[in-house]
Chains A and B, each alone.
Chain A
Amino acid sequence: MIPAEFEYTRPATVGDAVSALTAAGEDAKVLAGGQSLIPVLRLRLAYPTTVVDVGRIDEMRGVRDEGDAIVIGAATTHHEVMRDPLVAEHAALLAQATGTVADPQVRHRGTFGGALAHADPAGDLGACALALGCEFVASGPGGERRIPATEFFVDYLTTALNPDEVLTSIRVPKLGAGWSSHYEKFNRVAQAWSIVAVAALVRRENGSIAEARVGLTNMGTTPLRASAVEQALAGADATEAAIGAAAEHAAEGTNAPSDLSGKADYREHLARVLTKRAVLSAAGS
């Protein structure tokens, strides 16, 4: 890998990282596990003046319980997320989706926060974060702020983070009783990006679906919520027919890309099929 020349700094604290970003100006990039940034540098698609490596900041790693939410450090690796007991208990959707990310090598280097901050709509975690209602905790020169998932993803590879902000952790609200989930991923080869994927969360009550949240991967320039599906599912019977009918709304409001893996109409079809499968599976139907 032969990137263009850049300055490199490896701060030990979040404060130092923010200082480094502030000093470096707009053309700085944050490096965590490097699984998104390094390929971009290698192909010389980006020319950062400074790379701020947050991979050794201890306070950005690990998962902790904060009562109503679990908090996942942004530099926690995918492998750690998959194996974490708090994630398994309170956000099984994340564990399952993370297990589909790339391959074991990538999952041992790549980080939870890094993948989200890269904001590739084909990445698997954004749709889950949307469905789970996560909050993104960012530190900047003015202190810390929380960004709701609905506001975090702005456009293709673009988030609400300012150039001088570091994503430090992600707050995942604990789901109450009765919720179950499924991540349905579709790709051509095992380690590839999703062509389309669907994250489904379902709360069942008395044999029907009381509430559902559906996130879509790679159906637009950002991860999306399938709001029309969610509305159709609220109060619906947990039957294949009812879920299938609701899933027919999956492509509404989307803006799917056309590329080598599929043109937009095929992705729209996949969104419907995969939404039905995801919700059926989440609902245990």
Chain B
Amino acid sequence: MTSVEDRPAAEIGQSRRRKEDRHLITGRTNWTDNITLPGMLHLAMLRSPLAHARITSVDTTEAKNRSGVIGVFTGQDFKDVQGSLPCAWAPDGLVNPGTPSIAVDQVNFAGEIVAVVAARSKYEAQDALEAIEIDYDPLPPVLGMEEAVKDGADLVHPGTSSNKIYTWEFESGAAGTGIPIQEALDTAEVTVQRRFIQQRLIPAFMEPRSTVVQPVGDGVTMWSATQIPHILRTLLAATLGLAEHKVRVIAPDVGGGFGGKIAVMPEEVLCTLVARALNKPVKWTESRSESLLSAHHGRDQIQDITITAKKDGTVTGLDVHLYADMGAYNRLFGPSVPVLGAFMYNAIYKFAAYRFVSEGVFTTKTPTDAYRGAGRPEATYAVERIMDELAQELGMDPLELRRKNWIKHEEFPFTTVAGLTYDSGNYEAATAKALELMGWEELKAERDRRRADKDPVQLGLGISTFTEMCGLAPSRILGSLAFGAGGWEHASVRMLATGKVEVVTGASPHGQGHETAFSQIVADKLGVAFDDVEILHGDTQSSPKGLDTYGSRSLAVGGAAIVKAADKVVEKARRIAAHLLEASEDDLEFDKGSFSVKGSPGSSVSMGEIAFATFLGHNLPDGIEPSLDADATYDPVNFSFPHGTHLCAVEVDTDTGFTKIRKYVCVDDVGKPINPLIIEGQVHGGLAQGIAQALYEEAVYDESGNLTTGTFVDYTLPSAADLPSFTTDRNETASTYNDLGVKGVGEAGTIASTPAVINAVVDALRPFGVNDIRMPATPERVWRAVHEASAGGGRAEGGTTAYGGASTTTSDGEGGFLQ
């Protein structure tokens, strides 16, 4: 036996550069659109130009005669076989008229698929779309949520009695988690009410959606740019009546998702139907315009919030009512998105009473579903905004109000008024560090000086002391909330003959860096080199079990599953090591990849040696199978609760309305870090998306129900040139709910940053009598707010340039909500 002298250093906690980036940034990527199969046909989708209409006639004759066209399909062709796209949330009473992949006799949003062309080239497919004749009988568009739920409103779906899909309620008195909300409302010394608008957003992932389907015997192999290959496999089979074991789904390299690729997409179903109908492999890849128009959107809520408090600033009650726009259909998790925020409005504060009511509404717009944070950004925005408004009402410093009401670090674990038990955190420490990094007091002095001087450029300071629930999720909790899926994750660890390690994870990444972080974990747990670990994922044949990547779950759930599988490998190895070392298992210790006999240094055996001995099988203890491999399926005991303090300073040019972020500081507590560099990257990207909601992005529809922001000319994504250099830092309190002590970081920046920015803008504008600003806080809105002491009003609905929308109609007024 040899001893291993050059033991690997601890990998967990190292800022390793991501091992997947070499191929991702050198053009060696395997995107779905790169896949070419022999005889493959190309699909193009014809989409409805109208938001709401009956289809009166369809003529595909000319299109079928076009060069290269192999088939043209309409809703009539697939009406009996397409089933309904699944909705994996089914509370009692949910109105679900079904979701066709291709419209049969009615279209319910502009962009809904009405015909599919299969042709030999993508050019021929696209050209043939123009030869399809469809006549429509227009129906009135249904656009505003409050209008849509009124008695007598035009109905999106015939056969329903209302556009209201569901009402979901939580109330602390009824739930036994606090006092009744009515008591807090009745006894309030101070009450502040606000209406906040979560504008509609577009996830805008970098890689457009793309799907390839190959018919294989009784089933299919599908490659798709998806976040959820495993869920997709099960639900695609269920939707189309295929046998699950005949469906293989592969998510190759996937270029971003942000929730936008959590779907069973209509196009995935249609690719499958066409491939099977023609018995040919097919590919569909969307254009960017198609993506913005028809991939699901996010947010789009009207939030009515009431907070009650005592005069000393002690908060007592929080009463939340939402309208949530589902668009035209209930998509996979769309109706449940508000409910993912339902437990977070109370945030880090000790409310005595809490009520949350969400009403889902159908409109004739693109369906909504998960978008980075899914429910929790909306919750965090509402509570962090109204805490500032309460502070204003009380004449208190907004930071003092938060300090007075937040859970103190010695009070963990703490069960909130929403019934969740937060395991750990230290809001005081994160806040103290953030204030120091910010230079808060100096900035406050400058703000006051500019205010006194009536400087045309005002400084505003914003705070967001956020928490969130992530690491989705304990299966039992999901079950109790009417989700049609659990929240476990699966992992396998396979020891190869040469000591290399294959790790199979069910958490299929789409840009997060799983391969690097998981390799670091396994390297430490097995004591092997980082480069000796290969992470396999994203193919239901090689990684047969999993629940995929969303809700900041991959590390807290998927990583925890890997730890459990690795631990099993070590235990199997221990028996073999004992045999090889001729010692008792109880006398062995395992450290940095080697087993040795306690008290007898020099006698040890490494994992690599054990792996090879196991491969040979020549000399194993009796009754031991020649395998070290192990599986684990881990169901978390709770969510994890990252938190942090985000501070934002903005300069607002009151002459033009332009807002510039002067400084942004955040101190996040995401538990124990596995790879600080990846955490940093996640925070940066998250901040950009959260800031974008505050200042830049909005999906706007015109009065006919057409998406005006149909290109990146009008859907204004910020670039690095528009954002400040972020100052980020961390505080660490370990999660007690998983073996790694990790909490999840994928959504934190997005959840936290939006209210920090808007609180800062409103702070800058307080001298002008402004107490709210609609998002995005465009220069025009800010300018109008300054001049009208308002929230900035509506926006024109037309496009900006030759590449935008055609009309320039406008909609004014505070009441005229455009969503």
Contact = CB atoms under 8 A, between A and B. Distances in A.
Interface of A: 1-2, 4-5, 36, 39-40, 42-43, 45, 103, 120, 122, 157, 186, 188-193, 195, 257-263, 266, 269-270, 273-274
B127 A260 contact: no
Q: Taking each of B718, B783, B801, which has the highest tally of chain A beta carbons within 10 Å of its own beta carbon?
A: B801
Nearest to A39: B803
A262 B796 contact: yes
Contacts of A273: 655-656
B801 A120 contact: yes
Contacts of A274: 656
Contacts of B656: 186, 270, 273-274
Interface in B280-318: 287, 289
A270 B655 CA distance: 8
Contacts of B657: 266
A259 B800 contact: yes
Interface in B679-738: 696, 700, 708-709, 711, 713-714, 716-719, 721-722
Interface in B510-524: none
A191 B780 contact: no
A192 B795 CA distance: 18
A209 to B, nearest CB: 22
Contacts of B709: 260
Q: For the complex, would chain B's binding face be called helix, strand, loop or mixed by DSSP majority? A: loop
Contacts of A189: 696, 716-719, 721-722
A263 B801 contact: no
Contacts, number: 92
Contacts of A195: 779
A260 B700 contact: yes
A43 B783 contact: no
Contacts of B718: 189
A43 B711 contact: yes
B126 to A, nearest CB: 4
Nearest to B123: A2
Interface in B119-163: 122-123, 126-127, 130
Interface size class of B (residues with CB under 8 A): 35 or more
Given A189-B722, A261-B778, 6 more contacts: A4-B130, A103-B719, A258-B810, A259-B799, A260-B804, A269-B783
A258 B709 CA distance: 15
A122 B716 contact: no
A34 to B, nearest CB: 14
B780 A43 contact: no
B796 A260 contact: yes
B287 A257 contact: no
B741 interface: no
Interface in B780-819: 780, 783-784, 795-804, 808, 810
A3 to B, nearest CB: 9
A258 B783 CA distance: 15
B414 interface: no
Contacts of B722: 189-190
A259 B803 contact: no
Contacts of B123: 2, 5
Contacts of A263: 780, 796, 810
B719 A191 contact: yes
A259 B808 contact: yes
Contacts of A39: 711, 803
A20 to B, nearest CB: 23
B658 interface: yes
Contacts of B721: 189-191
A106 B544 CA distance: 45
A219 B123 CA distance: 39
Contacts of A5: 123, 127
A258 B796 contact: yes
A266 B812 CA distance: 13
A227 B798 CA distance: 29
